[in-house]
Amino acid sequence: MRDFVRRGRLPHVLLLAVGPDHQALGLGSALVDEVIERARVAGARKVQIALRRSSAENIARLRTGRRTG
């Protein structure tokens, strides 16, 4: 993705896979935040990220430090 940002364009769809190892290290939230920041720096007016329900719950848990159901 870095090459797209450097050239001033982003793909219309970005698939980001966050595996259990990333989640265990607390990188899930950091990766999502990095995608949002890079898109905004590149001039995106709107950033939309779609996650599977289980992934979304894991990201929320990582951000808040709480476990979800």
Tens-digit pLDDT profile for residues 17-56: 666 666 666 666 777 788 778 777 877 777 776 655 566 6
Average pLDDT over residues 56-62: 68
pLDDT of residue 31: 75
Tokens of 22: 């990333």
In whole angstroms, how far apart are CA 35 and each of 11, 19, 66, 67, 68? Answer: 12, 16, 23, 24, 24
Query: Whole-angstrom Cα distance, residue 10 to residue 57?
Result: 26
Give the up-direction half-sphere exposure of residue 22: CA atoms within 13 A in the CB hemisphere.
13
Tokens 């290290």 correspond to what residue? Answer: 25
pLDDT of residue 11: 56
pLDDT of residue 1: 46
